Chains A and B, each alone.
Chain A
Amino acid sequence: MTQENTTTGKPKRPFFVRRGPMENIATALIAIGFLMLFQPFALVLYTYSLVTLLAGTVMFIIVSKFPE
């Protein structure tokens, strides 16, 4: 164990396997997808809403299983 690890406790997990930030990204994707689905401004946003929503939802289901 290095000196750095002993002073700061456990070594930090890589960003992509950390639950907190990944859950926030998934939440943002779902919220954006939802707004895209119901907005009245551009048909193209409506067209890509399902992809965004689905990506966010699948990501949320996966990352919510990561340890805290």
Chain B
Amino acid sequence: MAARFKGRAAVSRPVAFSSLLVMPVTDTDTTLLDKAAEKAVRATPVPLAYRVRGLSDRSIAWLFIMPTIVLLLAINIFPLIWAVYLSFTNFRANRPNAEIDGVGLTNYQRVLTDPDIWQAMQTTAHFVFWTILLQMLIGFALAYLIDRKFRGHAFWTTVILIPMMLSPAVVGNFWRFLYQPQIGLFNYVYSFFTGVEPSSFEMLGSVTLSPWAIIIVDTWMWTPYVMLICLAGLRSIPDYIYEAAEVDRASAWRQFWSITVPMALPFIMLAVLFRAIENFKMFDMVVLLTGGGPGSTTEVASITLKREAFESWRTGRASAFAIILFVAVFGLANIYVKALNKVKQR
């Protein structure tokens, strides 16, 4: 039995577990890891152990990442290629048995000359620009304050993070009540500070106010996320740099612009990238708050896309629209990553 176990141990090399760790490990940890590895070795069926023995490290690495690659191909890459194919056809998802004809670039031509889709793109741009700007300003300011490490800063960090932990469906419904002109708290708070009659304006029903209503909700929900990333950036700046600046008699203003901002910039840029990608595909919150209305004032690109695909059932045209959005986000992400790498190399 012992010899058999020894043979299996040689196959799976349990010692390699501890050597893989980057962190220094204590004797107790090593013993625990070895015990876990021995347990895994004992659980491995003998035929499988002998089959794995002949594989190189590279093959074993491929074996481990293969399930992920297969999933990625099935869930991401295949639908993408399929959408590219559909964008050149007249396929309609509600008529799966109808003959599919190639229409060349007609779908792209129609999407790119449609004033309604153009309007949806402008609505998306307005939403993305203002949410990113507000979230960055407020998020960075909050992170800067929390980084001062005042008494109770951990409690306030948790309080600030609460909106981010809620489901968008909950937030959407919750804010619909807050925005009610008769019973909503938002109108009463605004009225308290400005003296305007609470029922005299309707945030979600007004053409001019409804885009801002959505921007306010998204900013309320996702500023904590930006704050968290900025806080990580601020905490990564070593104290000795500020001490050296103090010795050189640099003012607080100078320290902020010459140390804090440049050193936190890669983190800020990452936050912008994450939020921009997320907001380009914003759907749930807008549907819950306004459903794209009043009229089509708040109809962002993803809502137009959904209507084309599942209300008009023009799957080919919807696919062309999706590919256009994909190219836009992919192109932007490319140059953004290039800029991010430049900032990190400084």
Chain A interface (Cβ < 8 Å from any Cβ of B): 23, 27, 30-31, 33-34, 37-40, 43, 46-47, 49-50, 53-54, 56-57, 60-61, 64
Contact = CB atoms under 8 A, between A and B. Distances in A.
B299 to A, nearest CB: 15
Nearest to B320: A50
B130 interface: no
A40 B123 CA distance: 10
A60 B124 contact: no
17 contacts: A30-B332, A33-B328, A34-B328, A34-B331, A34-B332, A37-B121, A37-B324, A39-B122, A46-B121, A49-B112, A50-B324, A50-B327, A53-B328, A57-B330, A57-B334, A60-B335, A61-B334
The secondary structure that dominates the B interface is: helix
Contacts of A39: 122
A43 B331 contact: no
A57 B327 contact: yes
A61 B108 CA distance: 22
Nearest to B122: A40
Contacts of B122: 38-40
Interface string B309-334: 00000000000000010011011101
Contacts of B338: 23, 27, 64
A49 B118 CA distance: 11
A64 to B, nearest CB: 8
B26 interface: no
B281 to A, nearest CB: 15
Contacts of B330: 57
A23 B113 CA distance: 30
Interface string B89-122: 0000000000000000000100011010010011
A49 B122 CA distance: 13
Interface in B114-143: 115, 118, 121-122, 124-125
Contacts of A30: 331-332, 334-335
Interface string B263-296: 0000000000000000000000000000000000
Nearest to B108: A50
A21 to B, nearest CB: 14
B272 to A, nearest CB: 14
Nearest to B330: A57
Contact of B125 (A33, A38, A53, A54): A38
A60 B331 contact: yes
B118 A46 contact: yes
Contacts of B121: 37-38, 46
A6 B118 CA distance: 57
B112 A46 contact: yes
Contacts of A61: 334
B331 A50 contact: no
Q: Which interface residue of B121, B331, B332 has the most chain A CB atoms within 10 A?
A: B331
Q: Which 7 A-B pairs have the closest CB atoms?
A: A38-B125, A30-B331, A57-B331, A27-B335, A47-B112, A40-B122, A46-B118
Contacts of B331: 30, 33-34, 53, 56-57, 60
